[in-house]
Every structure is written in structure tokens, then in C-alpha cells.
């Protein structure tokens, strides 16, 4: 990209953000992946967004915590922690970055470009955290807070977010029954590298109890554990019914 093209692209992003940077270099750096800087070794004005991602992670965590405490004064610490973990997760940040079409603004090395870096979950989530840092460094906490509130927390209802940990629940149930612990196997991966779908099989002893898909191994495991829990509880109810009879 020429200097003029870069300036035009950044202006477009500023309009999307509804914020005009006093120091556009901060915005530029927040979008620069390390693969780009490695190819530009020796150029003093080329820095990656890794440090900004580090700072942005902390700023984001504070702002999300602040908002949750304000919104839900009656929630216990454990529930607030789970809500925060969801809101700052790579999956949630990736979805926000996609809505902002942040991928088109990333500055990548040639290899990363060829491998579909503009659509990779990790790169987009990291860039979003770096963007929070850029807003904070350029204008202080208020621009960062406005962005987090309008883009990351917008339309989020803590009462509706699924917080159940089915894997832990299944493990506790089997421990109470003194049964073998569940084992999870990835039996299939499908889709392009940047948007894979994982199929996980859950086995208890020699029995295959559930099979489920997810956009990550963890979500697939949680889905399989949920199915297994439902089956085991149904079996428990049937057994209790027969005992009563």
C-alpha cells in the first residue's frame, strides 16, 4: 500500500470507530502483525502490535469488570468472573472484530497473507485488544471505554450468556457414582484452516456416549458433555423409577 492508500484505509476505520486519532501511528501499529515487522527488519518505524496487545488485554479486562459490576450489583464474584471470561475470550473478540471487518485493515507479512491471516481468529482477537490499547494511549480511558461499551459489550445481556461448564459437571457426577472419567477424542476436523469445525467423541469406559461439533475443541467437548449429562440423568431417572416399582 502507498502512503496515501494507508491513510485512506485508516480514515475509513476511524469513521467506523467514530474516533479520530491524534497520533495515527498508534492506530497503524495496532494493526501491524509481527509477520510484517519480521519482513521489514531494520526499518525503525515498523513495530508489531504485540506490546499493544499486552496493554490492551489489561485495559479491556478493567473496563469489562467495571461495566459488569455497575450492571449487575447483585451478582456474586464467581458469576462475574465467568461473564468476564466470556466477554474477553478470543471467540467473542473474534466475532466483534469480524463485525468491524477489522481483517481488511491488518498489516501482514506475505506468508501470513497467503495463509489467510486476515480471517484467523487469533490474529483478529489480538488486533482488537491492540486497538483498545491504541485508543487508550491516544485519548485516555474515555475513548477506550466508549469503544468497549459500544462494540464489545453492546447487546450483551449477562443473564442470557451460557455459563454452564458441562465438562466439570459431568466429571463431578461420575465421581459421585464412582464411575470412570470421561475421555474426549477429536475424530474429525473439517473446513478451512481459519474456520475449522471439530467433531469430538466422548467415551466413558468402552462406551461411546456422545458426539458433537464445535468451532473449537473446547466448545465441541462442552457440547458432547452436555449430551452425555442428559443421557446419564435420563438413565438415572429410569433406574429410580424401576426401583420404586
CA–CA separation, 121 and 106 (whole Å): 13
Asked if 173 and 232 count as a contact pair (C-beta separation under 8 A), the reply is yes
81 alpha-carbon distance from chain centroid: 15
**Using H for helix, E for strand and C for coil, what is the string for 137-173?**
HHHCHHHHHHHHHHHHCCCCCCCCCCCCCHHHHHHHH
The sheet that has 197-204: what strands, in order across it?
Answer: 182-190, 197-204, 207-214
Active site residues: 57, 129
CA–CA separation, 211 and 219 (whole Å): 12
CA angle 213, 84, 141 (to 5 degrees): 130
Amino acid at each position: 500500500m502507498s502512503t496515501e492508500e494507508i491513510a485512506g484505509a485508516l480514515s475509513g476505520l476511524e469513521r467506523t470507530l467514530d474516533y479520530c486519532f491524534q497520533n495515527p501511528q498508534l492506530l497503524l501499529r495496532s494493526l501491524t502483525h509481527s509477520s510484517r515487522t519480521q519482513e521489514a527488519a531494520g526499518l525503525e518505524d515498523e513495530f508489531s502490535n504485540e506490546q499493544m496487545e499486552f496493554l490492551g488485554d489489561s485495559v479491556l479486562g478493567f473496563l469489562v469488570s467495571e461495566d459488569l459490576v455497575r450492571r449487575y450489583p447483585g451478582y456474586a464474584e464467581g458469576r462475574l468472573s465467568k461473564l468476564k471470561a466470556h466477554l474477553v475470550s478470543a471467540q467473542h473478540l473474534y466475532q466483534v472484530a469480524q463485525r468491524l471487518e477489522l481483517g481488511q485493515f491488518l498489516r501482514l507479512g506475505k506468508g501470513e497473507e497467503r495463509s489467510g491471516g486476515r480471517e484467523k481468529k487469533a490474529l483478529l482477537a489480538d488486533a482488537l485488544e491492540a486497538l483498545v490499547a491504541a485508543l487508550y494511549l491516544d485519548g485516555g480511558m474515555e475513548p477506550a471505554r466508549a469503544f468497549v461499551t459500544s462494540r464489545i459489550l453492546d447487546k450483551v445481556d449477562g443473564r442470557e450468556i451460557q455459563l454452564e461448564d458441562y465438562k466439570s459437571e459431568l466429571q463431578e457426577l461420575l465421581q459421585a457414582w464412582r464411575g470412570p472419567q470421561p475421555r474426549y477424542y477429536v475424530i474429525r476436523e473439517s473446513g478451512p484452516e481459519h474456520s475449522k469445525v471439530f467433531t469430538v467423541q466422548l467415551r466413558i469406559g468402552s462406551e461411546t456416549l456422545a458426539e458433537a461439533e464445535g468451532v473449537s475443541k473446547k466448545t465441541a467437548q462442552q457440547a458432547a458433555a452436555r449430551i452425555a449429562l442428559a443421557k446419564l440423568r435420563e438413565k438415572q431417572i429410569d433406574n429410580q423409577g424401576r426401583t420404586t416399582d
